[in-house]
Structure 1
Amino acid sequence: MSKLAKFNMFCEKKIMPFANKLAKQRHLAAMRDAFMSLLPITLMGGVVAILKSPPVTENTTNILLLKWAEFASNNSEILNWLFTFTLGGMSLYIALGINYFLCKHYKMEAFLPSLFITVGFFLLVTNPIELGYASKSIEISYIDGKGLIPAIAISMFTVELYRFLKVRNFGKIEMPEGVPASLSDVFASFIPGFIIIIIYIIIFMIFNKMDTTLPKFMFSLLTPTFKAADSIFFVVFITLLTHFLWFFGIHDAALAGIMGPIRDGNLSINATAQVAGEQLPNVFTTPFWIYFVAIGGCGAVLGLAILLITAKSRQLNMMGKMGIVPALFGISEPLIFGVPLMLNPVFLIPFIFAATINAIITFLLMSQHIIGRTFSMLSWNMPSIVGAFFSTLDWKAALLVIVLIIVDMIIYYPFFKVYDKQLLAQEKE
């Protein structure tokens, strides 16, 4: 047995079961599904962030850009307000989404836990400034990506504790027969809900006495971790790991529950900074990954798809024609399974390293502010050239994607020629 075959067997027996188990873990799966379900809201927030950021300077003379700037100035209040409660309110929506998918996993109703989560979220993630009969003012600066970690913790804690108490009928108030089921559920949840809210009040009081809030405290503790995640070393590591696992058939969704909060949280923070006219702090975001790293989907296969159209082998030529349109819209599965790329030793090196080279080049250019950083996410399936421009509003970003596609083609080319020659010989037999 060859060394590659032994390695494949090791991955199938040891790595794949662990990765599949990780992908199905209920909390990570709930986080992954919550982030995916948030697309309509993040899309609207991305559009608003773009509308708020016309690429104009003092020397701009283009009439369309000047009209865009005039529109943004005249409607700044409504645009800021809309952004605050779309992409700028990501933490609250993620908390509610995790609640829904966790409750769905446990086959229990999600409405009452969602109310307790909302109470806990506003008690702990916002901060009172003025509370009176005439007016109430609270600080909401942590309801965006900066509050994701406490929001996730609040959601999971609430669902798990609520379920723990409900399963044991803790403090259940029995209602007489004939009382509507919905009313019975409310009384059955009275004591569990009361306990959950009391816990959140105690947590609020503790941090209030410390003259801080839970998200502010956690954000200060986790800032070194977030900075480490927004580094070229981490980006290279996660790109290599993702594509290594994909090569052996482990979908990148296995890591989505872990990477989603980091990438989407950084995006939300960047979007908030963009709307506020501040410098964007993060490079590693969801659009960075979608539009600049995984061009054509995992494996950066759009460059390969273009090469496949020129293949002499009928099989590869057909796969190129079938796979180029999906790859254009970020879907790589037809080529991964059809060429195939997965478990194909010929393509191991380019499949893993094409996207990694994309990540290195893009990270270096963005970190040095040669290319604009990303602040909006319009669609997972938007062609990378278009997505790169609208996520940065920098024409150089779109040009960079074109260059990266050419680089990917160069990386894939020698391996493509070897495989094309092999298949052509087989077809002539």
Structure 2
Amino acid sequence: MKRSKKQAFIEIAGKIGSQRHLVAVRDGFVAVMPLVIIGSLAILINNFPPFGDLSLVAGLNTIFGEGNWQQIGGTIWNGTFAILGLLVTCTIAYHLAKSYNIDRLSASLISVACYIMLVPITDDFGLDMNWLGTQGLFVGIIVSLTITELFRILVTNSKFIIRMPEGVPPGVTKSFRALVPALIIFSIVGLLQTLLTILAETTIFEIIYAAMQQPIQGLGNSLPAAIFIALLNQLLWFFGLHGTNISGAITEPVYISLVERNIALFQTGVSAYEVPNIVTKPFLDSFIYMGGIGTTLALLIAIFIVVRHEKKHPYREIAKVAAPASLFNINEPVIFGLPVVLNPIMFIPFILAPVVLTIISYFAMYTGMVPRTVAILPWTTPPVISGYLVTGGSLRGVMLQLVNLTVAVFIYIPFLMAGVRAYKQRMEG
């Protein structure tokens, strides 16, 4: 019997999904899920949208003093998202070493040490925290995979192994087996960092960051620019990179200044339909990234539709955990928990949905069907509320959000159905 295109797609996706290094990356992100969820809750509380005197923020300020309560969430963030690149380096190396049945702890420790060796040093000789978090994820993935592979080659070669006499505790034996491989790896990484510092006066982190910034120079208030940003952010996030952080240094100054121009005119009496700029930061936050990057609120809705009769399905369990945070546009639980990262089945809808919604939203405002954005809100403001407020109190902004969510749900559904079938086949096999 001739295979259908869907069956062929599922088989190809299955082979890609079982690739050793991709599995290690996936499992590495899954391992830090509890910290991601806790960090998400801390971000949510610290950025809870204000609603006048009845807001949670106003109440906490009254009890603890202006802004003092945010130190708790800030401290939690320091132990989760602020060092996410470092954590993922450890967990990916651990799972890749596990797949090779080599010393997992040594591979993890050596990878983390190499990552820290590559982190830029501040003027007071401390580690630059900017590169320990989500901005360092890409380097973390490269380091963990490369160092673990190099460690595997060295630790399985008898020439590089120090053998201990019988009777020595297993833990000591393992440590000495890793001694020479670790020395060789540290020497290579140290030499690389030294050459970059002396010859180029830079670091691997800064090289990659600069390379990511170049394609988004000169962005402005145009549909092609908005589509490009949507594509770039989605691609970066699909590979586990914090796309909004990487591109934000260039795009946010541009798009915040555009909405500020709209606000200034709106305050002088110009209608929200007549302000000049369509593509702004709240345009992207409120109408494209509902539920977070990839319009993942629509993904969660699609999951509840597709697996509505399977109460214990993994997709549904992840959706139940991720839904509360997603209402406030925090989607790391579903990005790393489903996962969407490096998931071939999710690639097309994750990329396509925001691009389609960008086009719909742009023409809705360009043609005057929906007012343009005239307010800046915290990015954690939930959909519907944000659509109403950023368009100057227009229900048409809410309607556009509902239309966009509906379109995105229909984009995600067929791919989720393919994912459910693939999961069922694995369980039955």
Q: TM-score range by the shorter chain?
A: 0.5 to 0.7
Superposition deviation, residue 231 in structure 1: 5.6
1:81-230 equivalence runs, <5 A: 81-131=75-125, 137-209=126-198, 210-224=200-214
Against the structure 1 CA distance between its residues 36 and 402, is the aligned structure 2 distance closer, same or farther, given a 3 Å change threshold?
farther
Superposition deviation, residue 91 in structure 1: 0.5
1:24-423 equivalence runs, <5 A: 24-56=18-50, 60-62=52-54, 64-69=56-61, 71=64, 73-131=67-125, 137-209=126-198, 210-224=200-214, 232=227, 259-262=238-241, 265-266=242-243, 287-289=292-294, 291-297=296-302, 302=305, 322=309, 360-361=356-357, 389=382, 394=386, 396=388, 402-404=402-404
SS in 2 for 1:117: helix
SS in 2 for 1:288: coil
Against the structure 1 CA distance between its residues 156 and 177, is the aligned structure 2 distance closer, same or farther, given a 3 Å change threshold?
same
Against the structure 1 CA distance between its residues 116 and 202, is the aligned structure 2 distance closer, same or farther, given a 3 Å change threshold?
same
Against the structure 1 CA distance between its residues 237 and 112, is the aligned structure 2 distance closer, same or farther, given a 3 Å change threshold?
closer
Distance 1:111 1:354 in 2: 34
Identify unmatched segments of 5+ residues in structure 2: 220-224, 257-280, 321-347, 366-371, 390-396, 413-429
Opposite residue 12 of structure 2, the aligned amino acid is F
- Provide the residue aligned with 1:338 in structure 2: none
Against the structure 1 CA distance between its residues 168 and 404, is the aligned structure 2 distance closer, same or farther, given a 3 Å change threshold?
same
Superposition deviation, residue 84 in structure 1: 2.3
Opposite residue 222 of structure 1, the aligned amino acid is M
Q: Identify which of 4, 8, 25 aligns with 1:9.
A: 4
Opposite residue 84 of structure 1, the aligned amino acid is N
- 8 Å Cα contact 2:119/2:127 also seen in 1: no
- 8 Å Cα contact 2:162/2:177 also seen in 1: yes
- 8 Å Cα contact 1:296/1:330 also seen in 2: no
Against the structure 1 CA distance between its residues 77 and 357, is the aligned structure 2 distance closer, same or farther, given a 3 Å change threshold?
closer
Deviations 1:392-426 (A, max 9, x none): 984759956655555679999xxxxxxxxxxxxxx
Opposite residue 294 of structure 1, the aligned amino acid is L
Superposition deviation, residue 329 in structure 1: 7.1
Distance 1:354 1:258 in 2: 9
Against the structure 1 CA distance between its residues 354 and 372, is the aligned structure 2 distance closer, same or farther, given a 3 Å change threshold?
farther
RMSD: 4.9
- 8 Å Cα contact 2:61/2:69 also seen in 1: no
64-73 or 109-118, which deviates more: 64-73
Opposite residue 80 of structure 2, the aligned amino acid is T
- 8 Å Cα contact 1:128/1:139 also seen in 2: yes
SS in 2 for 1:218: helix
Distance 1:161 1:410 in 2: 45
Superposition deviation, residue 192 in structure 1: 0.1
- 8 Å Cα contact 2:209/2:246 also seen in 1: no
Distance 1:205 1:410 in 2: 52
Opposite residue 118 of structure 2, the aligned amino acid is L
Opposite residue 266 of structure 1, the aligned amino acid is G
Distance 2:388 2:318 in 1: 20
Opposite residue 212 of structure 1, the aligned amino acid is T
Opposite residue 80 of structure 1, the aligned amino acid is G
How many residue pairs were aligned? 328
Distance 1:238 1:211 in 2: 28
Distance 1:293 1:184 in 2: 52
Distance 1:359 1:128 in 2: 39
Distance 1:325 1:374 in 2: 34
Distance 2:237 2:30 in 1: 13
TM-score, normalised with respect to structure 1: 0.61
Distance 1:353 1:100 in 2: 30
Distance 1:159 1:194 in 2: 14
- 8 Å Cα contact 2:89/2:111 also seen in 1: yes
- 8 Å Cα contact 1:99/1:156 also seen in 2: yes
Against the structure 1 CA distance between its residues 154 and 226, is the aligned structure 2 distance closer, same or farther, given a 3 Å change threshold?
farther
Distance 2:43 2:176 in 1: 44
Identify unmatched segments of 5+ residues in structure 1: 132-136, 240-254, 306-318, 333-351, 377-387, 413-429
Superposition deviation, residue 259 in structure 1: 1.3
- 8 Å Cα contact 1:162/1:192 also seen in 2: yes
Distance 2:201 2:35 in 1: 33
Distance 2:408 2:215 in 1: 31
SS in 2 for 1:28: helix
- 8 Å Cα contact 2:298/2:408 also seen in 1: no
Opposite residue 151 of structure 1, the aligned amino acid is G
SS in 1 for 2:127: strand
Against the structure 1 CA distance between its residues 184 and 272, is the aligned structure 2 distance closer, same or farther, given a 3 Å change threshold?
farther
- Provide the residue aligned with 2:394 in structure 1: none
Q: Percent identity?
A: 19
TM-score, normalised with respect to structure 2: 0.61
